Amino acid sequence: MRIGLLTGGGDCPGLNAAIRAVVKQALGEYGHQVIGFRNGWKGVVDGDVIQLDRSNIRNILPQGGTMLGTARFHPHSAGAMEQVMATFEAERIDAVICIGGDGTLNAASKVADEGINVIAIPKTIDNDVWGTDLSIGYHTAVNIATEAIDRIHTTAESHNRVMVVEVMGRHAGWISVAAGIAGGAEIVLAPEEPFDIDRIVKFLRHRHRAHANFSIVVVAEGASPAKGSAMDYEVQLGQFGEIIAGAVGERVAHEISERTGFDTRLTVLGHVQRGGTPTPTDRILGSRFGVAAVDAVTAGKTNVMTALQNEEIVLVPLADIAGKVKPVPDDLLRVARVLA
Quick one: three-class SS letters along 34-93?
EEEECCHHHHHHHCCEEEECHHHHCCCCCCCCCCCCCCCCCCCCCCHHHHHHHHHHHCCC
Residues recognised as catalytic: 126
